[in-house]
Amino acid sequence: MTDAPFRLPSGGRIDRGSPVSFSFDGERYTGYAGDTVASALLAHGVRLVGRSFKYHRPRGVVTDGVEEPNALVQLGIGASGEPNARATQVEIHDGLAAASQNRWPSLGFDAGAVNGLLSALIPAGFYYKTFMWPGRWWMKYEYFIRRAAGLGRAPTGPDPDTYDKSWAHCDVLVVGAGPSGLAATHAAGRTGARVLLVDERPEPGGHLPGTSQSIDDAPAEEWVSAMVSDLAAMEEVRILPRATALGYYDHNYLTVLERRTDHLPYRERRGRVRQRLWKVRAKQVVLATGAHERPLVFRNNDRPGVMLASAARSYVNRYAVRPGTSAVVFTNNDTAYDPALDLADAGLRVVLADVRTGLSDARRSQLRRRGIELLAGHAITDVRGAKAVTGVSVAALNSSASAYAGGHRKIRCDLVCMSGGWNPAIHLFSQSGGRLAFDEARGAFVPGEARPAQFSAGGCNGTGALAFALSEGREAGKAAAAACGFRKRGGTPLPKVDVVEETPIRLLWTVPSRHLGRRLDKHFVDFQNDVTAADIALAAREGYRSVEHLKRYTTTGMGTDQGKTSNVNALAILSETLGADIAATGTTTFRPPYVPATFGALAGRDVGELSDPVRTTPMHQWHVEQGAAFEDVGQWKRPWYYPRDGESMREAVDRECLAARGSVGILDASTLGRIDVQGPDAAEFLDRIYTNGWKRLAVGRCRYGLMCTEDGMVFDDGVTLRLGEHRFLVHTTSGNAARVLAWMEEWLQTEWPDLDVYCNSVTEQLATASISGPFARQLLTELTTDVELGRDAFPFMSWRDGHVAGLPARVARVSFTGESSFEVSVPSGYGLSLWTALMHSGQRYGITPYGTEAMHVLRAERGFIIAGQDTDGTVTPIDLGMEWIVSRSKDFIGKRSLGRADTTRAERKQLVGLLTDDPEEVLPEGGQIVDTVTKPPMRMIGHVTSSYFSANLGRSIALALVRGGRDRHGEPVMVPLERAVVPARITEPRFFDPEGKRAHG
């Protein structure tokens, strides 16, 4: 196999024994294990890897890591497709298919590039200015904008991969396995502390393997290997490679995304967890997240072949790739010199343009020895080339760097390496709540005051020199372990590192154009979102002074890279234009996640049937076998209705409703919330919780109760049984059971600890079948011998213990349908036996199971409310017309609020019935009610809360909340719908058996 043309014959961290075949835009390429998509493509001389977002300009690889703005690729398509993957981080493996994004029809010829020609017409805030008027057109504009924009393609189906979440608790968490992170881990680990080291790269060492750095007179990689083998021997130290810290939250809680299989060929991934989200709680945190090199802002600095100096160096040293044949290195600081030397050593012809003049002799002689031409006090004024760099123009800057002193010289080259200084990776520090400080001399934000139990070391602390980064790391690791109570004397001495005298950086936020009058419109600041220096200057002139506003207006820093390379340049240019301090301008907020994360990883296993618990009753299997349609009530699955041979929902519900009043219906009421309230003060407690009184309720009797929140609004309702002098069984709405129990506990624990009362949920201990209708008593008589069922012996609103169908049972004469009803409760294990016994004996009475829909219709016929449907937290008992249940003789939660001006005003919405003029018309719930139909907006006087067709009444019925509705019975109103305006009449909210006699029958 012949090697790729730009691959160096030796060196690098790649495994030349393991060739890998992958594809890019359908074209096959080979690389080696250890390559990224970016390094393998560069080895083949592929420069053009993507198109920019707005102007569709050709773009190439800029970085060698996480901060990459340009080289974003689509990995795969369909359900497991992943857009916007950074080619600089994607490790190649056999079968990998990557594709460029944001181009059509092809990367080489892109129709959208016409935007580039029109760029003068697409200034900052273009979308805001152009597409916001007239408002209704936005929908149309949006369609075209979304088509023209958008980077990758979102997955199209359910994610087939498996994801995990895991907790980790440690003494010290170290983020970043570069030199300071390794030194910190080593120093902390040797004390015996439990240390977790997470690192985004496949191998530890940070940027070191990408340099030609020596440590202790040997290649830096040897020091890295020695550290790693030391750490491997420490029992309490764990290293997670390919693990990126996404977020840093309160109290040292961090999330870490570990990519476990993304680098493997597909055949090796099967059955393995793709990614794992670690939730780390650390006693101490050491941030060693390094720094990102900053681009320089000069004309046409986005041509493919313009990259960061450190990235070019990394491609040479880490990947054994020549990123070009002839390079111009453009810098304002010393850190581009070592890359220039390494490029020359790799056989490139190198010219170095430095905006500074007073350079050290050491640096000058280093260059001289490699034959690198030095252009001191020079800048690149323009870059030529379209799909690849073909050359640059350089000129000498005047003393203030505002213009050029001499003539312009053209230099042919195919690589431009830039360095504008370094931005410490302060993202996590800032997320944790640390204050940033601005280092004027280096033009960088650095950590200021940190949150407790946290250290920053090395590059992210603004420390560039390796020797200092190592010692900072060691001290931070030692101090972090000590803070957890782990100390150990001694330790390895700091390794020896050569130090070269440095010339200070000369900050030059924008490099002037060749023609001074020329706009700065091709001086790119944010490569991914196509934001130029001119856009930022324009925004400043238009009055955008806050960096947060600038960001949203120009979209700078809003791409998938979140402006890792662009933010500081952007706000520096803003400050310059405004004549303000950078420190005063400040940064935008750093928010998690640090890198884009898959939804799969965030969801973990909580998908599909594991996304939420499902609760079923003991009779559930029976309902399933009967073909019931189910309704979700909270987490419960409740039978909604039971369709018989081809019945529609309406037909089934009508049949069920008629049976419950005509013969006998049976409802699975096991989901009702039940709370066992016990203790000598139980009655006093219920007196305070409920609007009505409980002390005089006799044992053996039941009572309906209503509870309010302290603002007087109805919260829940239900029937309570007095089981004994000191014991009550409280029933709650099915969906509200946990909330009511929590409510009771809160009052008992926080306000009334003097009350001797205990509450316990017994919802799941009992199964309940409710039988309702004229034959209910007769049916029950057949199944019990020890419960006296006669009207006088067992009156309405009382309960009896005994046996039903041979099972220990409690029978309560309560009714939610308005019919003569019996609720039979048994220990939940007997639930299905009870149900089948009732069904079996009930056959001759035509027993009919009914679901929640029929239950709703039946109760609405009687005007019984459902808390949470006919009430919404703004409705008082008085609004419901339930004064009869509000005690005057005792205090209860919410009572005082019922006398407030707002709760007593006449115009409150009150519960009424609503009958449409057309008896077949069923109003939609939520329908708005008006007095007169006008041109919108109309004055709305209320809304429909419950609405059904009532088979028993042969017409539609509705409950509604209407302003002052109780005084308006008989008055006509309108319900304007999309299709028609429905006329209706306000009525009493009771449609059937208004005296409620049947329940006593």
Partner 1 sequence: MLLIECPWCGPREESEFHCGGEAHIVRPLHPEQLSDPEWADYLFMRSNPKGPHRERWVHEAGCGRWFNVERDTVTHEITAVYRMGGPPPNPSAAPGRKR
Contact 635, 612 (CB under 8 A): yes
Is 711 one of the binding residues for partner 1 (CB under 8 A)? yes
Binding mask 649-688 for partner 1 (x = CB under 8 A): ----------------------------------------
d(CA 153, CA 74): 7
- 853-892 positions binding partner 1, by CB under 8 A: 891
Q: With respect to partner 1, which residue has the nearer C-beta, 434 or 773?
A: 434
The structure tokens listed for 501 are: 């005298």
Query: What one-character-per-residue DSSP string does 92-143 give?
Result: P-TT-EEEE-S-SB-SSSBGGGHHHHTGGGS-TTHHHHHHSSSGGGHHHHHH
Q: Does 704 bind partner 1 (CB under 8 A)?
A: no
- Of the candidate residues 147, 410, 605, 896, the single one contacting partner 1 (CB under 8 A): 896
Angle (CA) 501-506-512 rounded to 5° is 145
Phi, psi of 658 (to 5 degrees): -65, -40
x/- site string to partner 1, residues 163 to 192, per CB under 8 A?
Answer: ------------------------------
Which is nearer to partner 1, 345 or 883 (by Cβ)? Answer: 883
What is the rounded distance in angstroms from the CA atom of residue 317 to the CA atom of residue 311?
10
Site residues (CB under 8 A) for partner 1, limited to 722-761: 742, 745-746, 749-751, 753
Taking contact as CB under 8 A, which single stretch among the options 251-259, 516-524, 815-823, 831-839 is the one that binds partner 1?
Answer: 251-259
Window 429-458: residues binding partner 1 (CB under 8 A):
433, 451-452
- Measured from the CB atom, the residue of 452 and 724 that comes closer to partner 1 is 452
DSSP letters spanning 346-386: TT-EEEEEES-S---HHHHHHHHHHT-EEEETEEEEEEEES
If one asks whether residue 897 binds partner 1 (CB under 8 A), the answer comes out as yes
Q: How far is the CB of 900 from partner 1 (least distance, A)?
A: 6
Closest CB to partner 1 among residues 521, 711: 711
Q: Is 665 or 735 the residue whose CB approaches partner 1 more closely?
A: 735
Provide the 3-class DSSP secondary structure of residue 394.
strand
Structure tokens at 868: 């949470």
Site for partner 1 in 396-435 (CB under 8 A): 433
Distance CA 59, CA 864 (A): 68
**10 vs 889 by CB, closer to partner 1:** 889
Q: Establish if 515 lies at the interface with partner 1 (CB under 8 A).
A: no
> Least distance in Å: CB of 432 to partner 1?
11
What's the min distance (Å) between Cβ of 451 and partner 1? 7
- The stretch near partner 1 (CB under 8 A) out of 232-240, 248-256, 418-426, 594-602 is 248-256
Q: Is the dihedral of CA 825, 828, 829, 834 positive or negative?
A: positive
Least Å distance between CB 250 and partner 1? 5
Q: How far is the CB of 750 from partner 1 (least distance, A)?
A: 5
Return the beta strands (E) in 673-791 as ranges.
673-678, 702-708, 714-724, 727-732, 758-761, 766-772
Query: Are 981 and 933 within 8 A, CB to CB?
Result: yes
Total residues in contact with partner 1, by rule CB under 8 A: 25
Q: Which is nearer to partner 1, 240 or 893 (CB)?
A: 893
* Cβ atoms of residues 706 and 691 within 8 Å: yes
- Shortest CB 251 distance to partner 1, Å: 4
Name which of 16 and 279 has its Cβ closer to partner 1: 279
Query: CA end-to-end span of the chain, whole Å?
Result: 95
Interaction residues for partner 1, span 472-491 (CB under 8 A)? none
Closest CB to partner 1 among residues 250, 995: 250
Task: Indicate the angle between helix axes 776-783 and 831-842, nearest 10 degrees.
Answer: 120
Asked if 573 and 580 count as a contact pair (C-beta separation under 8 A), the reply is: no
Please state the closest distance from residue 614 (CB atom) to partner 1, in A: 19
Cβ-based nearer residue to partner 1, 545 or 890: 890
CA distances from 813 to 446, 667, 676, 789, 793 (A): 73, 14, 19, 10, 11
Q: What burial letters (b/e) apply to 259-295, b meaning 16+ CB within 10 Å? A: bbbbbeeeeebeeebbbbbbebebbbbbbbbbbbbbb
Q: Minimal CA–CA distance to 327: which of 355, 350, 296, 304? A: 350
| Shortest separation between residue 657's beta carbon and partner 1, angstroms | 40
The type of residue at 929 is: I
Q: What token pair was written down for 603? A: 């969801």
In 3D space, the residue among 257, 223, 262, 261 whose CA is nearest the CA of residue 240 turns out to be 257
Shortest Cβ 896–partner 1 spacing (Å): 4
Residue in 121, 157, 250, 613 binding partner 1, rule: CB under 8 A: 250
Q: Could you give the string, one character per residue 76-115, with x where binding to partner 1 holds by CB under 8 A and - elsewhere? A: ----------------------------------------
The nearest distance, CB 747 to partner 1, in angstroms, is 9
Give the three-class secondary structure for 237: strand
Binding flag, residue 895, partner 1 (CB under 8 A): yes
Our CB check for partner 1 shows the closer of 412 and 900 to be 900
Measured from the CB atom, is 485 or 972 closer to partner 1? 485
| 623 secondary structure, DSSP code | H
Site string for partner 1, 537-576 (x = CB under 8 A): ----------------------------------------
Q: Which stretch binds partner 1 (CB under 8 A): 533-541, 855-863, 898-906, 983-991?
A: 898-906
Please work out, in degrees rounded to the nearest 5, the angle formed at the alpha carbon of residue 65 by the alpha carbons of 67 and 319.
155
Antiparallel, parallel or unpaired: β 253-259 and 275-287: antiparallel
C-alpha to C-alpha distance for 266 and 268, rounded to whole angstroms: 5
Could you tell me which of 663, 619, 657, 658 has the C-alpha nearest to residue 779?
663
Closest CA to 892 of 881, 902, 877: 877
Residue 971: CB atoms within 10 A of its CB come to 14
Residue 828 CA to residue 211 CA, distance in Å, equals 70
Q: Which of 131, 249, 630, 704 binds partner 1 (CB under 8 A)?
A: 249
Instruction: List the one residue from 126, 131, 253, 758 that touches partner 1 (CB under 8 A).
Output: 253
User: Shortest distance, CB of residue 963 to partner 1, whole angstroms?
Assistant: 22
Tell me how far, at minimum, the Cβ of 749 lies from partner 1, in Å. Answer: 4
Q: Supply φ then ψ for residue 676, to 5 degrees.
A: -90, 115
- Helix, strand, coil percentages, rounded to 5, for the chain: 25, 30, 45
**Minimal distance, residue 751 CB to partner 1, in Å:** 5
Q: How far is the CB of 754 from partner 1 (least distance, A)?
A: 10
Name which of 88, 259, 289, 87 is nearest 164 in CA terms: 259
CB 825 within 8 A of CB 729: no
Kindly state the smallest distance separating residue 714's Cβ from partner 1, in Å: 16
Query: Least Å distance between CB 730 and partner 1?
Result: 17
Contact stretch for partner 1 (CB under 8 A) within 128-136, 893-901, 920-928, 971-979: 893-901
Compare residues 187 and 282 and give the one whose CB is closer to partner 1.
282
634 binds partner 1 (CB under 8 A): no
Of 251, 412, 514, 644, the one binding partner 1 (CB under 8 A) is 251
**Shorter beta-carbon distance to partner 1: residue 6 or 690:** 690
Strand, coil or helix: what is 311?
helix
- Taking the complex as a whole, how short is the minimal distance between the CB of residue 895 and partner 1, in angstroms? 7
What would the x/- binding string for partner 1 be over residues 277 to 316, using CB under 8 A? ----x-----------------------------------
Binding residues (CB under 8 A) for partner 1: these are 249-253, 281, 433, 451-452, 710-711, 742, 745-746, 749-751, 753, 891, 895-897, 899-901
